[in-house]
Homo-oligomer: A and B are copies of this chain.
Amino acid sequence: MGIDGLRMTLVDVAREAGVSLATVDRVLNGRPGVRGPTVTRVKAAIEKLGYRPDPIASRLAHGGSFRFCFILPTGTNTFMTNLGDAVTEAASLIAGQRAFIDIRQTDVFDPDALATALEGIESHYHGVSVVALDHPRVRAAIDDLVGRGVAVATLVSDVPTSRRQWYVGIDHTAAGRTAGTLMGRFAGARSGPVGVIAGSLSLRDHVERQFGFGQVVGDEYPALRILPTRVGRDDRERTRVAAQAILAEHPDLVGIYNIGAGNQGIADALEEAGRTREVILIGHDLTVHTRRLLLLGVMDAIINQDPGHQARSAARLLLAHCTGEPIVAAQERIRIDIFLRDNLP
Pair A345/B340 contact, Cβ less than 8 Å: no
User: Which residues of B sit under 8 angstroms from A174, Cβ to Cβ?
Assistant: 342-343
A343-B3 Cα distance, complex, nearest whole Å: 35
| Contact A335:B342 (CB < 8 A) given known A3-B101, A102-B2 | no
Chain A 1-43: CB-based contact to B (< 8 A → 1; otherwise 0): 1111101000000000000000000000000000000000000
For chain A, residues 168 to 188, give those with C-beta under 8 angstroms from any C-beta of chain B.
Answer: 174-175, 177-178, 180-182, 185-188
Given the known interface contacts A60-B60, A330-B308, the answer about A100 and B2 at a Cβ–Cβ threshold of 8 Å is yes
A331 with B308: in contact, given A3-B92, A188-B188 (CB under 8 Å)? yes
B338 A343 Cβ-Cβ under 8 A: yes
Interface residues of A in 83-116 (CB under 8 A from B): 89, 91-93, 95-98, 100-104
Given known contacts A3-B92, A89-B328, A185-B186, A342 and B100 CB-to-CB distance under 8 angstroms: no
- Interface contact A328-B93, CB-CB below 8 Å: yes
Contact A102 B342 (CB under 8 A): no
In the complex, A335→B174 CA distance in Å? 19
Decide if A227 is an interface residue (CB 8 Å cutoff): no
- Per-residue B-contact encoding for A69-92, CB less than 8 Å = 1, 0 else: 000000000000000000001011
Number of copies: 2
Taking A1-B102, A52-B95, A308-B331 as known contacts, 16 extra A-B pairs with beta carbons closer than 8 A to each other, sorted by chain A number, are A2-B100, A2-B101, A2-B102, A52-B96, A54-B96, A55-B96, A56-B96, A56-B98, A89-B330, A174-B342, A177-B343, A185-B300, A216-B342, A312-B328, A312-B331, A338-B340
* SS of A interface (majority): mixed
Tier of interface size on chain A: 35 or more
